[in-house]
Amino acid sequence: MVNSVLECKAIRMFYVKQFRSAGILDAVFEVNCILEQVTGMPWHSIRQISPEQHQKINSMIQRRISGEPLQYILGEWEFYGMKCFVGKGVLIPRPDTECLIDLIAQKFRRSEKLNILDLCTGSGCIALALKKIFPDAEITGMDCSPEALAYAEKNKNYHGLDVQFIRGDVLNTTFAENFDVFDLIVSNPPYLTSQEMQTLQTEVSHEPATALHGGSDGLDFYRNMTKIWRTALKSGGMLLYEIGEQQGKAVSEILASQNFRNIQITQDLAHRDRIVSGDKI
Ligand code: GLN
């Protein structure tokens, strides 16, 4: 263990090499993220690192080498330009999900007094990003996981946004019947297949399986939520799901079977099918 004030450059080089040997592809970026968080400075302005800081850095580096996701180690990640606190027990917001926000921002007018429900809200990132865009909207986020909801509350308080988070099972029919009607129901549900769950990237295997696994074919939540929550949509209201890139056709068929119209598949920035949306008639 190093216990004197060290040149930052030497430390960076040392850890980048360790990350590379551990097979971490974005070694420089990830080392910089850790250094920035511990020192509170942009990596290029850091000149020296104290022994206390170095100890913290070293323990974060070791966690990362052991396969933990960088986002959990940092305790925060960015989603749609917003800081989002994350940690064990909650799904890490993905950039893929940002295109849901873009699409909703295109479909509705900012000044509309929308009533929006975000099912399987997790960290609350979708609900909170929408509240920023639609300040007059009434937004509710729902999740069954107390760990995830603790992060959603923390994120809401950090950003000072008025969103309601509630604990509930999104597959509970009676629960759904007791809700007001919504203009928009959005969800990024668990959608990985049982087979995909067997071959998760090490980092992803640290995330809660309940946020990832959508049953044997990955479609359980789409099948059940579409049926259950249809009644909670206004006529003309929109249902909008994030999907796995292979699921566009199957999820569109689920929406069609429940009488949704204007069913559309939208791609993400990498040109992969990422959203299925439809209107309730
Ligand atoms: N997009 C995530 C992944 O590929 C899965 C998230 C989800 O199931 N909603 O790991």
Q: What is the mean pLDDT of residues 204-212?
A: 98
Q: Which residues contact 5 (CB under 8 A, 6 or more apart)?
A: 48, 49, 50, 51
Which of the four pLDDT bands, split at 50, 70 and 90, describes residue 4?
A: very low
Q: Enumerate the CATH 3.40.50.150 domain ranges in the chain, comma separated.
A: 91-280
- Res. 5: pLDDT tops 80: no
Which residue from 77, 91, 210 has its CB within 8 A of the most atoms of ligand 1, so it is best to mutate? 91
Tens digits of residue pLDDT in 227-265: 999 999 999 999 999 999 999 999 999 999 999 999 999
Question: CA angle 65-69-74, nearest 5°?
Answer: 100
Determine the Cα–Cα distance for residues 169 and 129; give it in Å rounded to an integer.
23
Decide: 182 and 116 in contact? Cβ < 8 Å. Answer: yes
- Ligand 1 centroid distance, CA of 119 (Å): 15
Atom of ligand 1 nearest to the CA of 201: 10
- Token look-up 């509350």 returns 153
- Ligand 1 centroid distance, CA of 150 (Å): 20
Tokens of 173: 């029919």
Q: Which helix (H) or strand (E) holds 225?
A: helix 220-229
Q: How many other CB atoms are found less than 10 A from the CB of residue 51?
A: 12
- Ligand 1 centroid distance, CA of 218 (Å): 10
- Res. 3: pLDDT tops 90: no
- Res. 2: pLDDT tops 80: no
Q: What is the mean pLDDT of residues 211-229?
A: 98
Q: Which residues line ligand 1 (CB under 6 A)?
A: 94, 96, 188-192, 204, 212
Computed over every residue of the chain, the mean pLDDT equals: 95
Question: CA angle 146-151-157, nearest 5°?
Answer: 120
Give the pLDDT confidence score for residue 168 in this predicted structure: 95
Q: Give, in words, the CATH class of 91-280.
A: alpha beta
- Ligand 1 centroid distance, CA of 153 (Å): 22
Tens digits of residue pLDDT in 35-85: 999 999 999 888 888 999 999 999 999 999 999 999 999 999 999 999 999
- Token look-up 């974005």 returns 26
- Res. 166: pLDDT tops 70: yes
Give 230: exposed, middle or buried? Use CB within 10 Å, 0-12, 13-18, 19+: middle
Percent of the chain at pLDDT > 70 equals: 98
- Res. 6: pLDDT tops 60: no
